């Protein structure tokens, strides 16, 4: 069915495809929510600090 070269190519393609799939799953479930949550918390902290500075003036 497959020659050895075709088999190695198929294995390489499948490996790259699976690595990309799991990387996308990891990014969408862990990295992106962490990034968005951190930016929201940072924005809230800046607003709170601005209100505190305005009150102290």
Per domain, the residue ranges of the chain are 25-57
For residue 25, the model assigns a pLDDT of 97
Is residue 10 within 8 A of residue 2, CB to CB? The reply is yes
For residue 8, the model assigns a pLDDT of 95
pLDDT at 55 over 80: yes
Between CA 37 and CA 28 the distance in angstroms is 13
Convert the pLDDT of each residue in 1-52 to its tens digit.
779 999 999 999 999 999 999 999 999 999 999 999 999 999 999 999 999 9
In terms of pTM, does the model score above 0.75? no
Between CA 11 and CA 18 the distance in angstroms is 10
Q: What secondary structure, in 3-state letters, does 4-38 show? A: HHHHHHHHHHHHHHHHHHHHHHHHHHHHHHHHHHH
C-alpha torsion 12→15→20→26, nearest 10? -160
């Amino acid at each position: 069915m497959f020659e050895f070269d075709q088999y190695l190519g198929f294995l390489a393609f499948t490996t790259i495809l699976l690595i990309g799939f799991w990387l996308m799953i990891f990014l969408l479930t862990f990295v992106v929510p962490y990034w968005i949550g951190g930016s929201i918390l940072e924005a809230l902290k800046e607003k709170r600090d601005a209100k505190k500075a305005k009150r102290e003036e």
